[in-house]
Amino acid sequence: MLSNSRTRKAERNSNEHSLLRAFQARLESLRSETGLSRRAFADRLGIPRSSYFHLMSDAGNPSLDTVELIAARVGVHPSELFPAPAPSSFSETPVSDPEGETNRVRSTT
């Protein structure tokens, strides 16, 4: 059985990989739309071919600068390279403090 910290790390890695996979799938979709080979697409993006192939591998870990560069070169906003965010699990609940002032408390549910 995994400890809590190991479980959180495994979940974080899984989430990171799902975000990476979504980014890679979007990039591949954009490449397909252009009809370019992977090498030609890397050239169009202005990144070394080896960097493009690394980016599309399990070890890919694009920096924000790289994401912004790619988005600019393909003509989309950087957020369009990632899936839409899931609805938040946070909710705000009004609570009264001892002086009777109402505050908002965020909680996960």
Q: Where in the chain are the domains? A: 4-81
CATH 1.10.260.40 fits 4-81, yes or no: yes
Per-residue pLDDT tens digits for 61-108 = 999 999 999 999 999 999 999 988 777 666 666 666 666 665 555 555
- Measured CA distances, 27 to 19, 20, 33, 74 (Å): 12, 10, 10, 9
pLDDT attached to residue 16: 57
Per-residue pLDDT tens digits for 22-62 = 999 999 999 999 999 999 999 999 999 999 999 999 999 99
pLDDT attached to residue 83: 86
Positions of E strands within the chain: 90-96, 102-108
pLDDT attached to residue 24: 96
Token pair of 94 as six digits:
């009004």
DSSP run (H or E) holding 8:
helix 4-34
pTM: 0.64
